[in-house]
């Protein structure tokens, strides 16, 4: 009973705002536009069903993208926003049980996602009307997949929203985890399967099917290296999503079932107040700079205070978390080095270099918008921007401090591929020029992504909207250009595709490495100029927005 009350209230809150109305209009408009682009121009019927299959494939990926964007955004802000508004404590101390709260919020989020799926039915009916698309085996299976994915993403978002302390951190973690779930499971299957024995086929298949892409490829009946080994990818995906949702909901219920009142906890003793022997031992254990119980040194006269503030407020910016991130990156780098040295004998050095840089590019594209888009929105939403307005800091100093904090984290992530690329260059010295060109394009793409995401998120006062805008500004051109590339010869010509690929930093990096068939396009120099110009415009736009927000608000008379 109480769960129904919570679900009704949450569903009304989710659907009565202006953003929900725009989403309900944008999703069907986008899907219908995708179908219309591929709709046959003549009155002839394609008996082979190829055109209908192509239209349904585009529709499936468009709807999958809509669910992947909307679901994390709705779930990540659900509980942490109640905690910030001080209403979560009231609900937990009321007769409302934590289980009712979890079930009610989950039902409301899934119901809102069902609305997104329902408005796509006219486009699905158009795909089915063209012929060649099975209503039960393809259209019905697609909606089953999306429903399972929606339940899992809602459960994962509720868990992150329960554990997170800040709204921007919750949105950032959920979006990054969502992108990681789509791309990361494909890497072990693609790289390790040629080296692993037959005993590892089943574990690698289950790990691969954590991503929804193999199941969508199976539904659209398109044979690729991801789905050629075996069938039933949809069944495995649904089972994994259900099990993951159950685990996430149980974890969320356990976290909310703890006593809501504050419990006393020992504050501990600062390292500076301990004996000399203890300080010496902790200095060895924490390498002298990573001790969390040591008092921080005063900020120097030539140190940017905004940079120090950003690093200390963010969990990843603290010294001990930077050390953990560095160790994690080092482990990943060693794994890539070993894999690169072994796989180079199977696939060749050029293909492995492209794969390593694409893994690095995926990490940059997932991490950078999440960090850069909320640089201003998190300050405005928490109310701390007014404190910055009262400081004598110049706009340029505020800007450089915030940008430098993001660059520190991105630089550590970029270190992951350096040892692997060095090993590959030692294996084949002729690949040195390609590696240098690829690293240059990767660094340029990192700065381009940083400035574009920061500029896109600077115009929004809420972190959830700013994060969505940052990801849309960064990933939107990439998705559109890859869509045009996949339709080359069907809906677009070679010259049009080459022009559109200029706005895609991933395609430019692949063209610089001369892998993946992108060496056919002369896009390296235009893409470099595009990233420089748009990155500079994004930086200037972000600077102007910071300067505008720095002005004190007028007082009404």
Closest CA to 141 of 221, 207, 62: 221
- pLDDT computed for residue 243 by the predictor: 93
Tally of CB atoms within 10 A around 424? 25
- Cβ neighbourhood burial of 451 (10 Å; 0-12, 13-18, 19+): buried
CA distance to 113, 154, 213, 393, per residue, from 68 (Å): 10, 10, 12, 40
pLDDT 10s digits, 340-357 = 666 666 666 666 676 777
Q: At what angle do helices 98-118 and 50-76 cross, to 10 degrees?
A: 150
Place of tokens 């010294």: 319
Measured on CA atoms in the order 157, 362, 190, 217, is the torsion positive or negative?
Answer: positive
Higher-pLDDT residue of 101 and 363 is 101
Average of per-residue pLDDT across 531-540: 91
What would the two tokens of residue 91 be? 């609900």
The helix or strand, by DSSP H or E, that contains position 352, with its residue range, turns out to be helix 349-372
* Region of poorest pLDDT, from 187-191, 423-427, 456-460, 479-483: 423-427
Query: No. of H helices and E strands in the chain?
Result: 26, 0
CA distance to 75, 76, 119, per residue, from 10 (Å): 11, 14, 20
Write down the pTM of the prediction.
0.73
Angle value at C-alpha 447, between 511 and 533, nearest 5 degrees: 75
Tally of CB atoms within 10 A around 468? 23
Helices (H), 299-348: 305-313, 319-347
What would the two tokens of residue 134 be? 């099975």
Cross-strand partners of 488? 492
Whether pLDDT at 230 is above 60: no
Helix (H, G, I), strand (E, B) or coil at 460: coil
What would the two tokens of residue 514 be? 């001369």
pLDDT band at 556 (very low <50, low <70, confident <90, very high): very low
What would the two tokens of residue 393 be? 């800091």
- pLDDT computed for residue 78 by the predictor: 83
Angle value at C-alpha 213, between 208 and 217, nearest 5 degrees: 110
Q: What is the DSSP letter of 262?
A: -
Higher-pLDDT residue of 489 and 75 is 75
Whether pLDDT at 441 is above 70: yes
Angle value at C-alpha 495, between 494 and 499, nearest 5 degrees: 115
* Region of poorest pLDDT, from 120-134, 303-317, 376-390: 303-317
Whether pLDDT at 264 is above 60: no
Helix (H, G, I), strand (E, B) or coil at 492: strand
- pLDDT computed for residue 509 by the predictor: 82
Higher-pLDDT residue of 431 and 331 is 331
Torsional class of 556: left (φ above 0), alpha (ψ -120 to 50), beta (otherwise): beta
- Cβ neighbourhood burial of 46 (10 Å; 0-12, 13-18, 19+): middle
Average of per-residue pLDDT across 165-188: 81
Place of tokens 């390292």: 271
Exposure of 508 in the CB half-sphere (CA atoms within 13 A)? 28
The helix or strand, by DSSP H or E, that contains position 411, with its residue range, turns out to be helix 395-414
- pLDDT computed for residue 180 by the predictor: 82
Q: Please give the backbone phi and psi of residue 492, each rounded to the nearest 5 degrees, phi first.
A: -135, 150
Q: For residues 212 and 185, what is the distance between their CA atoms, to the nearest angstrom?
A: 10
- pLDDT computed for residue 516 by the predictor: 67
List Cβ neighbours of 124 (8 Å cut-off, separation of 6 or more). Answer: 59, 139, 142
- pLDDT computed for residue 534 by the predictor: 92
Measured on CA atoms in the order 295, 306, 83, 244, is the torsion positive or negative?
Answer: negative
Exposure of 245 in the CB half-sphere (CA atoms within 13 A)? 21
Whether pLDDT at 391 is above 70: yes
Cα distance from N-terminal residue to C-terminal residue, the chain: 50
Helix (H, G, I), strand (E, B) or coil at 82: helix
Q: For residues 9 and 366, what is the distance between their CA atoms, to the nearest angstrom?
A: 33
Q: For residues 472 and 457, what is the distance between their CA atoms, to the nearest angstrom?
A: 10
What would the two tokens of residue 308 be? 């120090």
For the chain, the average pLDDT equals: 77
Q: For residues 20 and 122, what is the distance between their CA atoms, to the nearest angstrom?
A: 19
- pLDDT computed for residue 150 by the predictor: 92
């Amino acid at each position: 009973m109480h769960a129904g009350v919570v679900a009704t209230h949450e569903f009304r809150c989710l659907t009565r705002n202006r953003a929900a109305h725009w989403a309900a209009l944008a999703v069907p408009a986008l899907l219908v536009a995708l179908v219309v682009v591929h709709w046959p121009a003549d009155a002839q019927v394609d008996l082979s069903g190829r055109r209908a299959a192509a239209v349904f494939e585009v529709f499936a990926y468009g709807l999958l993208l809509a669910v992947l964007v909307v679901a994390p955004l709705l779930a990540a802000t659900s509980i942490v926003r109640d905690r910030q508004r001080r209403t979560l404590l009231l609900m937990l101390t009321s007769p409302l049980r934590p289980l009712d709260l979890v079930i009610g919020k989950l039902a409301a989020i899934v119901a809102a996602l069902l609305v997104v799926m329902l408005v796509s039915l006219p486009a699905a009916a158009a795909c089915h009307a063209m012929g060649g698309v099975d209503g039960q085996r393809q259209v019905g299976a697609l909606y089953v997949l999306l429903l399972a994915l929606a339940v899992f993403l809602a459960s994962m978002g509720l868990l992150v929203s329960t554990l997170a302390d800040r709204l921007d951190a919750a949105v950032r973690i959920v979006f990054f985890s969502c992108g990681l779930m789509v791309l990361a499971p494909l890497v072990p299957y693609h790289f390790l399967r040629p080296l692993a024995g037959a005993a590892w086929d089943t574990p690698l298949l289950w790990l691969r099917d954590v991503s929804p892409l193999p199941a969508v490829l199976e539904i659209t009946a398109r044979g690729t290296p991801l789905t050629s080994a075996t069938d039933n990818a949809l069944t495995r995906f649904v089972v994994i999503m259900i099990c993951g949702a159950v685990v996430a909901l149980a974890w969320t219920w356990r976290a909310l079932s703890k006593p809501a009142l504050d419990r006393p906890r020992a504050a501990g003793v600062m390292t500076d107040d301990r004996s000399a022997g203890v300080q010496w031992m902790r200095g060895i254990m924490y390498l002298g700079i990573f001790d969390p119980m040591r008092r921080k040194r005063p900020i120097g006269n030539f140190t940017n205070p905004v940079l120090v503030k950003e690093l200390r407020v963010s969990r990843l910016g603290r010294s001990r978390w930077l050390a953990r991130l560095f160790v994690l990156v080092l482990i990943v780098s060693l794994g890539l080095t070993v894999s690169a040295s072994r796989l180079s004998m199977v696939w060749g050095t050029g293909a492995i270099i492209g794969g390593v840089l694409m893994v690095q590019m995926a990490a940059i594209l997932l991490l950078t918008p999440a960090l850069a888009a909320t640089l201003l929105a998190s300050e405005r939403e928490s109310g701390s921007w007014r404190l910055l307005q009262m400081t004598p800091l110049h706009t340029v100093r505020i800007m450089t401090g915030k940008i430098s904090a993001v660059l520190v984290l991105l630089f550590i992530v970029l270190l992951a591929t350096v040892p692997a690329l060095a090993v590959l260059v030692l294996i084949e010295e002729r690949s040195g020029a390609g590696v240098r060109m690829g690293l240059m394009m990767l660094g340029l793409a990192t700065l381009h992504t940083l400035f574009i995401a920061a500029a896109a998120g600077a115009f929004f006062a809420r972190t959830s909207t700013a994060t969505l805008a940052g990801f849309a500004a960064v990933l939107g051109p990439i998705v559109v250009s890859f869509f045009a590339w996949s339709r080359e010869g069907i809906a677009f010509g070679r010259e049009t595709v080459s022009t559109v690929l200029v706005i895609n930093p991933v395609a430019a990096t692949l063209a610089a490495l001369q892998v993946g068939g992108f060496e056919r396009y002369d896009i390296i120099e235009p893409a470099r100029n595009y990233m420089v110009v748009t990155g500079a415009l994004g930086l200037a736009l972000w600077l102007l927005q910071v300067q505008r927000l720095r002005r004190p608000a007028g007082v009404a008379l």
